[in-house]
Structure 1
């Protein structure tokens, strides 16, 4: 993998992604519960999408990031039809380890927050390793 250009991935990078909750996003639909509100797995997916968006355009050619650790507190229910926004902010870069603070809001209320850690990897080598027989 190429070396990172100076300050390519520096703390302070941010991105926001939005989702209007549909029936397919509910805890019932994703198998994480039996209520028709935004499911925690979808909250996590939205948070991770924000981290990916925050680093878009800042990665060396041939590189990508992969999730390695998550801490998420899902505090409030969001019904179908409401829009949620996930904001990711890169707070720490330690070699290939990237740490993001995440906040998910709906109508000005924080519905979830936490941390997502990702690792910078060479896409080709990562996929080759993943394809090896166990």
Structure 2
């Protein structure tokens, strides 16, 4: 029997976090010229963390969500010390897939946006499959 995710996670679930861009948020940049800017990888990390925290606590025991795919368009630069607002919204549930849309903005407007998809899985089966892959 397949888990009906809609019984645990409400469509339209939304989370917002405001954060000042710190040096840790620039670590993903590979160029010294970019070390003062919000990195794309920091944006993805925050979105993943927000979605995981919003969903996993609502799932029944033995189930977790795992990252499946992330699409991001990073259009504008934001510097260290700037306050940014991360917003995620659960737009669709398709089988075991949770499709979030996100926007990250600063005082001037949209910085980046995209989609983050998580899959709800049984932790024991995930672990079993991973161990099986290791022995092949």
What TM-score, normalized by structure 2, do the two folds share? 0.83
Question: RMSD across aligned C-alpha pairs, in angstroms?
Answer: 2.2
Q: 1:92 to 1:38 in 2, by over 3 A?
A: same
Contact 1:10/1:93, CA 8 A, preserved across alignment: no
Report the Cα distance in structure 1 between the residues aligned to 2:100 and 2:114, rounded to whole angstroms.
8
Measure how far apart 1:2 and its partner are: 7.5
What pairs with 1:91-130 in structure 2 (closer than 5 Å)?
A: 91-107=91-107, 109-130=109-130
Q: 1:5 to 1:74 in 2, by over 3 A?
A: closer
Report the Cα distance in structure 1 between the residues aligned to 2:71 and 2:22, rounded to whole angstroms.
24
Q: Could you say which structure has the higher helix fraction? A: 2
Range 4-13 or range 59-68, more displaced? 4-13
Structure 1 segments (4+ residues) deviating >6 Å: none
Measure how far apart 1:115 and its partner are: 0.5
Tell me the residue number matched to 1:33: 31
Range 15-24 or range 114-123, more displaced? 15-24
Contact 2:8/2:59, CA 8 A, preserved across alignment: yes
Measure how far apart 1:124 and its partner are: 2.4
Structure 1 portions without partners, runs of 5+: none
Contact 1:65/1:118, CA 8 A, preserved across alignment: yes
Contact 2:23/2:80, CA 8 A, preserved across alignment: yes
Report the Cα distance in structure 1 between the residues aligned to 2:65 and 2:118, rounded to whole angstroms.
6
How many residue pairs are counted as aligned between the two chains?
Answer: 132
Tell me the residue number matched to 2:24: 24
Measure how far apart 1:58 and its partner are: 2.1
Tell me the residue number matched to 1:8: 8
